[in-house]
Amino acid sequence: MKKNSLLGESMLLLSAFIWGIAFVAQRVGSDMIGPFTFNAVRMLIGGLTLLPCIYFMRNKSNEKKNEITKQQWLKSNNKLLLGGIVCGSVLFVASNLQQIGMSYSTASKAGFITALYIIIVPIIGIFFKKRPSIALWISILIALCGIYLLCITDEFKISSGDILLILSAFSFSIHILVIDHYSPLVDGVKLSCIQFFVCSFLSSIAMAFLEVPNVSSILHAWLPLLYTGVLSCGIAYTFQILGQKRVNPVIASLIMSLESVFATLGGWIILGESLSLRELSGCILLFIAIISAQLPVKNAIGFRYMYKR
């Protein structure tokens, strides 16, 4: 059991690292091609990456299919298709808001601001009559202080990039809730694969109307596209599924929150980004808020969801 737990924790830690460095890749990609072009290609790569995984899992799926009636199988596939379309549509909004925002921000700030979904999701849960704990309210207050230090300038202004990233964090929170609704009903890997293709399709439409893509620019951005497509969308997601089956949900969410730290380290080491003392203090406060929001509290109703893009 301990060996399985250690393996699961290792998978989740590797996923957090991959996602953290993905912010660096996205930041680099934003200087090479437009945001809709970037997401159209990388989501397509992500969907294609998951196809072999679905193929190798087909035997297990066939066994389940033999146990249910044809009507039940059709109903399940209709839910899968509907879930993929809904999740992909929300992912389209969230991922493109994030990619556009990163054109005006840094990988370090983007990592911490996006990670706010861990706090935003329980806040949205209030409207679904989920009782938040006192610790959550304290986390929200700390997060607000962190955002102020990280994003608000001395002139009390917030950049357009930071606003887009905050809107992206809200969108990812909605995406997590939609995933939470559909994932127990259908195959998670197939759901993810379909949503990547849907997001790619919608991004392609936006790309056709709002950008002027060319093959040479896309080929020039091959490294960030492959990284975010194959590693971030395909491999890291699969590792998350396998890892969470072996690890306590609270521990899993704590490990996953390290993606914001890896994003900062990646921005510093790879891109040479630097944070002022004020911005660094904001990152620290946000990280404290993210961690404290996930700690178990007696008699509080849990409302934690783990899903990545």
In whole angstroms, what is the distance from residue 300 CA to residue 78 CA? 36
Q: Residue 239 has what pLDDT?
A: 81
In whole angstroms, what is the distance from residue 287 CA to residue 116 CA? 9
Residue type, 89: S
Residue 186 CB contacts under 8 Å (≥ 6 apart), including other chains = 76, 79, 80, 83
> CA 2, 253, 175 angle in degrees (round to 5)?
135
Q: Residue 207 has what pLDDT?
A: 96
Q: Residue 138 has what pLDDT?
A: 83
Q: Residue 74 has what pLDDT?
A: 61
Residue 263 CB contacts under 8 Å (≥ 6 apart), including other chains = 19, 20, 21, 23, 24, 107, 108, 110, 111, 112
Are 261 and 13 in contact by the 8 Å Cβ rule? The answer is no
Taking each continuous run of H as one helix and of E as one strand, the counts in the chain are 15, 0
Kindly report the number of other CB atoms within 10 A of residue 50's CB atom. Answer: 21
In whole angstroms, what is the distance from residue 236 CA to residue 12 CA? 8
Q: Residue 308 has what pLDDT?
A: 46
pLDDT digits (tens, 9 = 90+) for 113-126: 887 877 787 778 77
Residue type, 167: L
Residue 22 CB contacts under 8 Å (≥ 6 apart), including other chains = 227, 228, 231, 232, 236
In whole angstroms, what is the distance from residue 163 CA to residue 183 CA? 30
Q: Residue 46 has what pLDDT?
A: 92
**Surface-to-core class of residue 62, CB atoms within 10 Å of its CB (0-12 exposed, 13-18 middle, 19+ buried):** exposed
Residues in the chain with pLDDT values less than 70: 1-4, 59-76, 129-130, 132, 153-157, 248-251, 253-254, 294-309
Residue type, 266: G
pLDDT digits (tens, 9 = 90+) for 36-92: 999 999 999 999 998 988 887 776 555 555 555 556 656 667 888 999 999 999 999
**12 alpha-carbon distance from chain centroid:** 14
Tokens encoding 119: 């706090």
Any idea what DSSP says for residue 152?
A: B
Query: Residue 42's closest CA among 196, 265, 151, 241?
Result: 196
Q: Residue 54 has what pLDDT?
A: 83
Q: Residue 304 has what pLDDT?
A: 41
Query: Residue 37's closest CA among 234, 215, 233?
Result: 215
Q: Residue 299 has what pLDDT?
A: 43
